[in-house]
Amino acid sequence: MAPGMKVVVAPNAFKGTLTAPQAAAAIARGVREVFPDAEVMEVPVADGGDGTVEALVTANRGEYLTAQVEGPLGDPVTARYGRMGSGAVVELAAASGLALIPPERRDPRRASTFGFGQLLMAARRDTIRLIVGIGGSATNDGGAGMAQALGYRLLDKSGTDLPRGGAALARLERIDASGFKPWAPAVEVRVACDVTNPLTGSRGASAVYGPQKGADKAAVRELDAALARLAEVIERDLGKRVADVPGAGAAGGTGAGLMAFLDASLVPGAPLVVEAAGLDAKLAEADLVITGEGRVDEQTAYGKAPGEVAKRAQAAGVPVILLAGSKGPGWEALTRSGVTSVVTLTDGGSDLRQALNDPEGMLIRATVVACRSRKWT
């Protein structure tokens, strides 16, 4: 292409090796090796899970802020979130994540989203749009702890505030919302949610995700019944039916809690984050888009950030290169989603071990190979 070409670099994280911003920087270096005069626009993306804050702060040239909150079992945690102008982005895992608790201490009956609520309170200051990623939770409390941090009171029969944790919800008698000042419509809360699990039952939060968080069969039954009680009282006291909404069971039922207590909307993660990263505006002037992630397969085309990038680029008439650590079953579906060329980190003759030992260098080299091949023109 002619000098002055514009290239949009919009990768997801290469999990376990490079964050999305690190991957974007490496790809940009590779582009400049082949096209030294190109204008390269780095727009790292994510699906709404781990890395969402970092991707959106980098893509929008925002800033990182921190809040001192309670961890899932009450230990102090410094949680990071991002601000981009009048918008903010938070991840539940930063305050109430499974990674914050060593395996021997994990107990979803006691773990609470209270710290996540504290993080939301910090992020909402001077904010009119809030994006929330809820992957990686240690909790199964239906967002009850979050609600308590926001000003709701969850009371038992004697009018006493319930203690933290999902198991305590079995004793929930009443929700007192008098201490909560509604956020909507002043603050719009959108939740990146790609699961469709309901709150309770065989596909619910406790049955599907509880065992990953340390729940045995007895605890799963106990927590499922407790969430059913929460949904019952929410419907009676707040007038909101959340139990059967797809995604209500996300993050130990925090999906339901966000809808009930904050009037949040649950939306697919990749479109939400890719849009918030500002990709569409960059595509209007682009000659080429390069995206990628660690492993590509059929799921990449349907629901993951690189697939969303390719779909939007295709609609804008811009060719797309996808870089990947490896290919999995069904990766060919990407060609129907607008991907013009797929190049793996080993296409230049190196093996996977080299790719893992030097992911940045390998990604730069793969970018050079892809750009020189001109298969996307």
**Structure confidence by residue, pLDDT tens digits, 130-158:** 999 999 999 999 999 999 999 999 999 99
Residue 1, pLDDT > 80, answer no
Tally of CB atoms within 10 A around 326: 14
The CATH number that applies at residue 326 is: 3.40.50.10350
Quick: pLDDT tens for 329-341: 999 999 888 899 9
The CATH number that applies at residue 144 is: 3.90.1510.10
Residue 326, pLDDT > 70, answer yes
Residue 317 and residue 204 share a domain: no
CA neighbor of 147 nearest in space, from 178, 98, 113: 113
Residue 89 and residue 26 share a domain: no
Segment 177-198 mean pLDDT: 95
Segment 200-206 mean pLDDT: 97
pLDDT at 288: 96
**Percent of the chain scored above 90 by pLDDT?**
87
The residue range of the domain holding 60 is: 52-270
The domain total for the chain is 2
Count CA within 13 A, CB hemisphere, residue 131: 32
Is the residue at 304 inside a domain?
yes
Residue 365 and residue 217 share a domain: no
Segment 344-369 mean pLDDT: 79
pLDDT at 236: 98
Confidence of residue 356 (pLDDT cuts 50, 70, 90): low
> Domain boundary at 213, 248, 270, which?
270
Which pair of tokens denotes residue 45? 């993306």
pLDDT at 132: 98
Residue 233 and residue 113 share a domain: yes
pTM: 0.92
- Give me the residue label for tokens 């139990």: 243
pLDDT at 348: 56
pLDDT at 375: 73
Residue 254 and residue 183 share a domain: yes
Residue 82 and residue 117 share a domain: yes
Residue 73, pLDDT > 90, answer yes
Phi, psi of 376 (to 5 degrees): -90, -5
Residue 183 and residue 73 share a domain: yes
Is the residue at 1 inside a domain?
no
Quick: pLDDT tens for 4-63: 799 999 999 998 899 999 999 999 999 999 999 999 999 999 999 889 999 999 999 999
Which pair of tokens denotes residue 229? 């009680």
119: CB partners within 8 A, 6+ apart: 67, 69, 79, 81, 90, 94, 95
Residue 88 and residue 71 share a domain: yes
Residue 328 and residue 302 share a domain: yes
pLDDT at 355: 58
Residue 206, pLDDT > 90, answer yes
- What is the average pLDDT score of the chain? 94
